[in-house]
Amino acid sequence: MVVRRGRGDLLDRWHVRWENNVRRYAKLSCVKLIMPWSTASMRFCTSELKTAVISRALVECFPNQTILSASGIRRQESPNRARAPVAKAQPKLRSVSRRTSGLDWHPILDWTTQQVFEYLEQKQFPLHEAYRAYGSSRVSCCFCILSSASDLAAAARCDADHDVYRPLVRLEIASTFPLQPTRWLGDVAPHLLDGEQRVALDFAKQRARRRGAAESRIPEHLLYTDGWPRCVPTRAEALLLCDVRRSVASAVGIEVDYTDPERLIQRYEHLLTEAA
């Protein structure tokens, strides 16, 4: 059974996130512009497009039961997974109406990569084409936010992935945020882009530097904590924030409100009242 997120795939999710983040920035609901992508510390791609969707399907399939959901994560894969328990309660498998509860189970948590491939060979289980045809070291989303440079290049060698590659690069260009903190996806396979896109990518990198330079001027105490401001800026600080906002808007090509110091101060005061 193949399950899918009802409101579109991951690319759709990233586009919606970017649109929402631009609106939030325009309304000063965030003091720095937020990237469209998920990150290692904020993997909503996994929680929303895998765990939540799979859990809903299991709850529908197995009412009135305790569900054991097995997945093949291993300690060797990452520091976070190294600390994972063999089993833990999964809240998304709990349903009052369907009378279900459940656990995530990680039966091969202590296996090494070599043991995995030896087992597959023993069972004569065919490897995914990402391994066989393209030389990937691991299989995940074709252009994963956590992929190595070699795995991104391997994905780009697959013709079927080109229709994903180009829209992702277009979102890099539009947002001025690279897919990975230190790597632009557009640099992985520039031959897949036309001349206009390559020029736009180079310009996006310049715009990203302008955005970063502007936001680096924001004093630490004026940054938000858990989505809320910590204090009201002085008039001099408000003038600085307004200048930063205009610079960011110009670099990214978006429209923003609260570029007048009085209105910006009022917005901070309103947000602090809301937070309280």
Each of the 276 residues of the chain gets a pLDDT tens digit; together they read: 999 999 999 999 999 999 999 999 999 999 999 999 999 889 999 999 999 999 999 999 999 999 999 999 999 998 989 999 999 999 999 999 999 999 999 999 999 999 999 999 999 999 999 999 999 999 989 999 999 999 999 999 999 999 999 999 999 999 999 999 999 999 999 999 999 999 999 999 999 999 999 999 999 999 999 999 999 999 999 999 999 999 999 999 999 999 999 999 999 999 999 999
Extended beta strands in the chain, E state? 66-70, 87-89, 101-105
pTM greater than the 0.85 cutoff: yes
- Tokens 């948590």 found at: 109
Question: Which residue reads 């307004």 in tokens?
Answer: 242
pLDDT at 142: 93
Measured distance CA(125)–CA(2) in Å, rounded: 20
pLDDT for residue 69: 96
Torsion of CA 245, 247, 249, 255, to 10 degrees: 70
Neighbours of 252 (CB within 10 A): 21
What span, in angstroms and rounded, lies between the C-alpha atoms of 76 and 185? 26
Contacts of 79 (CB under 8 A, 6+ apart): none
Strand, coil or helix: 68: strand
**Predicted pLDDT of residue 246:** 98
Domain residue limits, the chain? 126-205, 215-275
